[in-house]
A and B are shown apart, each in its own frame.
Chain A
Amino acid sequence: MSPAEDRQARLSARNGWLLSAPALVILTIAAIGPLLIVLVYSFLTPGDYGNVVWEFSWNGWKSVFVEEDIFEGTLSLADAHLTIFWRSLSLSILTTVLTFLVGFPTAWWIATKPPKARAFWLFLITLPFWTNILVRTFAINQIIRNEGVLNSLLIWAGVIDSPIQLTYTPTALLIGMVYVYLPLMVLPLFAAIDRFDMRLLEAGYDLYASRWQVLRRIILPIVKPGIIAGSILVLVPCLGAYVTPRILGGGKMMMLGNFIELQFGQGRNWPLGAALSIVLLVIVTAALLIYVRALSGEKRHG
C-alpha cells in the first residue's frame, strides 16, 4: 500500500468508528447491560415474593431441564418445559413455512405489477401494522370462534354442519401467528423478487426447463437471501411470541414467551425466568448464525 492509500484507509477506519459510536453506546447500555443482569439473576436464589435473594444457586438452570420430585427427591426430565420448548419451536417453524407458502406467491404477484399498483399493494400488506397487535389478535379470535364469521360462512355454504372448534387450539394459534407475521415475510421477499431479472425466466424455458425447474433451479436460488431474511424476521419474534399465544391459546397453549412471563409473575421464580430467557436467546442466536452462514456461503461462490 502506498503511504497515501494507507492514510486514506486509516482515516476511513477512524471515521467509521466515530460515526458508529452513538449506536454502539446505545447498544451497549440498552442491550448488553440488561442481558448481563439477566445472566446474573439466573444464578441467584428466588425470593419468597418474587425478586431474588443474592445467594448463588444452580437451581434456576437445573429446573429449566429437570424436575425434582419434592417428596422422593428424585430428578426427572422436565416434561412440561420440554413440551413448551417443542411447541414454541415447532409452531414457530410451522408459522415460518406457512408465511413463506402464502407470502411467496403474494410477493411475486406484487413484484410483477406495474410500479404504481405495487406501492398500493405493499401499503395494504403493511396496513395491519397500524393497528395494535392486541386488537388484531382479538379480531382473529372473533373470526374463528364458534359463532364467528368463518364458521357461519362455512355452515351457510354447507361445507360443515356444526361449527369447527378452533378457538384455543394449536390451529387457532397458527392462524393468528401466520396472520400477524405475514408482512414480515412478504416485504423481504418482495425486495428480493423486485431485484430478480425476469428475463432469466425466458432463458430458463428456452433451455428446456419446465415451470417447476425454473422455480427450483433459477427463482428460488436467486431470491434465497430474501427467503432467509423473511424466515429469520418471522422465526425470531415467533419464538418469543407472547400476546398471540396468550389470547388465541387461552392459556392452554403456552409458548416460551408466556412461560417466561409466568416465572416473573405468579411463578415467583425469577432465576428460572432468567435462565429460560437465555435459552430463548441461544435458540434465536443459533437461528441467526444459520442465516449468516447461509449468506456467507452465498458470498463464497461469488
Chain B
Amino acid sequence: MADVTIEARNTIKAFGQGAQAVRALDDVSIQINRGEFFTLLGPSGCGKTTLLRLIAGFEMPTSGQILLDGADITDLPPNRRPVNTVFQSYALFPHLTVAENVGFGLTMQGRPKAEVAATVAHMLALVKLEAMANRKTSQLSGGQQQRVALARALAPKPKVLLLDEPLSALDLKLRKEMQVELKRLQTETGITFVFVTHDQEEALTMSDRIGVMSAGKLQQVGSPKDIYTRPVNRFVAGFIGETNFLPATGGAGGAKLGCGAVIDGVAANGAVTLTIRPEQVRLTAAAEPGAIPATVTLLVYFGTDTHLHLALPDGASIVARVQSPATGEAGLAQGQQVGLRFAPGAVQVLED
C-alpha cells in the first residue's frame, strides 16, 4: 500500500447560503503519497484553489475531513499545520529582506538564530539567490520573487508544499526554466508537492500523478500517461491534450462509425463516443484495403508537426498529426484523397 501523506475524505465546500450556495468542492476524496509531485489540473473555477486552501487550513470544509499522516487536522489553524503554501501572488513581505522572508517561518517556530541563519543560507543556495540575501523583495524580478516565495515555503521543511499556479505570472521562457527548477527542488528536498495549474502541458511534464477536476468534482486520478492514454470520460479526454471524438455504434464485431467503417477490437454496446489522439491516426494511400477514405480539408503547419484536418465520407471531421515533410519533399495538399488507419489499442471508448 502506498504511503499516504495528505488525504481529503468526502470534502464538501459550499460558499454562500441557501439557493445561491455554490459547491466549490463536491464530495472530493483524494490521497496524495509521500514525496510525490501531485498536480491538480482543471479549468478556471473548478475548485483547485479551494481544495488547496482546505489543505492549508485557510478554509474549513462544509463537511468531510482533511488528514495528515493519518491524523485528522480538519480543525487545526493554518499556523499549526506543517504545510506551507507558495501563493500565486507570492505574498512576499515587503518590509523584510530576502533572507528575512525566507527565515520568517523558522523564526516564528522559535528556532535558534544560528539554525535560522544556516537554513536560510542553504535555502538561498538551493534557489540560487545567495547574492540577493540582503535586498528588499521589491527590488527583484518576477522570477526571483518566485524563487524567494519557494525558498520561504520550503525553509521550515513542511510535510506538504502547496503551490497555487505559481508559474502563471511568468513569461513562457521563464516558466519553462522554473518548471525544471521546481522538479529539481522537489527531488532534492523529497517534500510532497501539491501543484495547481490549468495548463495541461505543465501538468503532464512535471507530475508523478495528476488529479483532473471539473465543476468541483475529481474526474480522474492517475499518472500522466494513464490520464493521457486512458481518459475515463469525455471531459478528461478533451481537457488533456488534443483529441478526436467520433460517435459510433458498438456491436459484436467492433464499433461502427457513421461512415460505415468498422473498428475492430473495440468492446462497446449501443451508441458510444470513441476518442483517438491525432498522433495515433495513421495515413495510408487512398486505395489501401481496409483504410477509411478521407479528404484533406486543411493543413496547419506547426514546425516539426503538421495538423491535417480530414473529412470522412459521412462529413465527420478528424484531425491527424503527422511529421512535417522534409525540406524539398513534396507534402500533402488540400483536397487530396488519403486513407486512414488507427493504431491498434489507440481507440478509447468513453462514458460521457
Contact = CB atoms under 8 A, between A and B. Distances in A.
Given A206-B78, A207-B84, A222 B94 contact: yes
A11 B91 CA distance: 40
Interface string B58-88: 1000000000000000000111100111010
Interface size class of B (residues with CB under 8 A): 20 to 34
Q: Which 6 A-B pairs have the closest CB atoms?
A: A302-B136, A207-B105, A203-B91, A208-B108, A205-B78, A209-B108
B95 A210 contact: no
A200 B149 CA distance: 12
A202 interface: yes
Interface residues of A, number: 19
Given A199-B89, A202-B87, A208-B108, A221 B79 contact: no
A200 B108 contact: no
Interface in B89-136: 89, 91-95, 97, 104-105, 108-109, 136
A161 interface: no
Contact of A207 (B57, B104, B136): B104
A54 B104 CA distance: 66
A209 B89 contact: no
Interface of B: 56-58, 77-80, 83-85, 87, 89, 91-95, 97, 104-105, 108-109, 136, 138-139, 152-153, 156
Interface of A: 197, 199-200, 202-210, 213, 217-218, 221-222, 301-302
Given A202-B58, A302-B136, A208 B87 contact: no
A218 B79 CA distance: 15
B138 A207 contact: no
Nearest to B137: A302
B87 A207 contact: no
B91 A197 contact: yes
Interface SS, A side: helix
A200 to B, nearest CB: 6
A202, A207, A222 — most chain B CB neighbours (10 Å):
A207
Which residue among B77, B92, B93, B136 has the maximum number of chain A CB atoms within 10 Å of its CB? B93
Contacts of A218: 93, 95
29 contacts: A197-B94, A200-B93, A202-B78, A202-B91, A204-B93, A204-B104, A205-B58, A205-B78, A206-B58, A206-B79, A206-B83, A206-B85, A207-B79, A207-B84, A207-B105, A207-B152, A207-B156, A208-B80, A208-B105, A208-B108, A208-B109, A208-B156, A209-B104, A221-B95, A222-B94, A302-B94, A302-B95, A302-B138, A302-B139
